[in-house]
Structure 1
């Protein structure tokens, strides 16, 4: 009420109230952490307490400062019980929720814009370099979890789904590398989905799960682990699709199919049509469109006539060679092309090729905004984008022991106490401490230790 009365504009009043609420929350959070530290030390009262040190952690709502006790373990090791309980590593300044939120924004926007948004919308201020460091922390954590899941996780058959049809697609794209002599980095992607659901005029893939990596063997390993952990394929028809390029041939998908009841690989219609239009670019469009319609309608007996006509209309040796290459392309990929004209697959083949269109979520961030990448940086960003696409960024980070430890006592119990502290009694002198925002080996660190231990 006083804040509203003491300001001439609602904007100033809102800013003042936000500051007060943030200060109240951070003070309550700090008090809760100190009470938790006291409870932990009481539970292990046999461990001598050396001294109390202050630490500051940046939360989404602001900076929280608290003092915790340094104890000596039975083996002579010195540790902070509170930090170990919460999973806070030394010299880490940011909370788990802040890491999750910042990495989520960084996976969609440029780093400078994310830093500005964080500074404008929250009491936290950070640079674009800090945004990138936080994103790398989240990406590396997700990478460790995904590798561990592919290696060690076990799932019983009762937990796996049994579906009549399951779709798997794969494709790759190039990203510019960073360095004195930059190389193109190949990003391999696979996606699994259970079908297509119409949402108005748009189609949505059901339970889509994407996996991306710079290593083809790694992404295949994680894909097989995901299928084994979530699906029982003994009664499932597996339908796969790709452009049949290197690393995405039918034999690769045959290996993925594993214990599936049956497997049908289909060539991506987009790449097939592009191949036809490229090879026959110098010929009449009526001939090219007629060949494409012939394949779509399943009139395969007419394809030789179209190719013979194309050879007769070739104006030079190069055009003739293109027609011969297209004929060889049909012959080589015919088992994957034939299902496109099969009426039995008409209700499923329209979804194949979505892997190519879904590249945009990655390429827009990694090409247009990222410019160039190191392998480690690109791997971290791919992991964050994958988690975003799979809607499990927070759930994945919680799986890591360093994230999301349970916190007690509950903060809401402390807020009424703090609200009652409207006026404090003056004690003659002001008590305080020095916050060492630097290493304890530095001069300011030594001064902080001397000052804090003396009060």
Structure 2
């Protein structure tokens, strides 16, 4: 792990805590890498060999809240339903890896949580202090754009289903409150004010 000596310069608890945390995160990253490669080996044996042709391993990494995980995974040649060849990672498919680039879902959530409360530069500093991962503010910005695109795509799909009368939900409400922040909205319905607009205030 690391050497300690009372003959060295005085050590304080804060430094000790930081060293232990970094060490444990490093061990966790190695453990995750080992488990990922074990699963990849099992998928190699259990796959439909006629459908998935192994084309070798690729070295990759994924940034997590514990640090960057370095590992190898196999890529497979596959013929899709349209009869076209495509290359996929069975490991990604099996684990449902919903990553953006090389960023894990948990880290993405941390980025989103922090950037909604502070600037990008402040957010990445906060993430670095709370996790064992460091990212640039540019990376954080790119992640938010990708998340926004995914949300927009889901909303477009919901609108499409609604127009086709195929949107189904489990809850129904008679009253819907919209939380706003100093924005003027056009009001509709018989109870709308004469000004036809009302200013929303965030509570």
TM-score if structure 2 supplies the norm length? 0.75
Give the distance between the partners of 2:96 and 2:172, measured in 1 at CA.
35
Are residue 55 (structure 1) and residue 60 (structure 2) matched? Answer: yes
Larger Rg: 1
- Are positions 1:106 and 2:106 aligned together? no
Q: Is 1:161 aligned to residue 172 of structure 2?
A: yes
Change (3 A) 1:14 1:85: same
Secondary structure of the corresponding residue to residue 186 of structure 2: coil
Q: Residue 200 of structure 2 corresponds to which residue in structure 1?
A: 356
In the alignment, the residues of structure 2 paired with residue 117 and residue 29 of structure 1 have an alpha-carbon distance, to the nearest angstrom, of 24
The one-character-per-residue Cα deviations of 1:322-372 (angstroms, maximum 9, x if unpaired) are xxxxxxxxxxx29x8xxxxxxxxxxxxxxxx6x6222x9xxxxxxxxxxxx
> 1:4–1:10: 8 Å Cα contact kept in structure 2?
no
Q: Relative contact order: is structure 1 or structure 2 higher (C-alpha 8 Å, sep ≥ 6)?
A: 1
When residues 122 and 57 of structure 1 are mapped into structure 2, their CA distance, relative to the original with a 3 A threshold, is same
Q: Offset at 1:45?
A: 4.8
> Distance in 2 between the 1:43 and 1:137 partners?
34
Q: Distance in 1 between matches of 2:148 and 2:173?
A: 32
Given that 2:98 and 2:105 are in contact with CA atoms closer than 8 Å, whether structure 1 keeps it comes out as: no
Deviation at 1:5, TM superposition (A): 7.2
Aligned residues: 188
Contact 1:119 1:125 in 2 (8 A): yes
2:191 is the counterpart of 1:265: yes
CA deviations over 1:403-452 (Å, ceiling 9, x no partner) = xxxxxxxxxxxxxxxxxxxxxxxxxxxxxxxxxxxxxxxxxxxxxxxxxx
Structure 2 spans left out of the alignment, 5+ residues? none
SS at structure 2 position matched to 1:15: helix
SS in 2 for 1:77: strand
Cα distance change on mapping 1:123 and 1:160 into 2, 3 Å: closer
Using the TM superposition, give the Cα deviation of residue 127 of structure 1 relative to its aligned residue in structure 2, in angstroms: 1.4
Give the structure with the larger helix fraction. 1
Write the deviation string for residues 295-343 of structure 1: whole angstroms up to 9, x where unpaired: xxxxxxxxxxxxxxxxxxxxxxxxxxxxxxxxxxxxxx29x8xxxxxxx
2:94 and 2:180 map into 1 onto residues whose CA distance is 33
What is the Cα-based RMSD across aligned positions, in Å?
3.4
Distance 2:101 2:141 in 1: 15
State the secondary structure of the residue aligned to 2:76.
strand
- Rounded to whole Å, the distance in 2 between the matches of 1:3 and 1:14 is 14
Q: Deviations over 1:384-409 (max 9, x none)?
A: xxxxxxxxxxxxxxxxxxxxxxxxxx
Q: 1:3 to 1:39 in 2, by over 3 A?
A: same
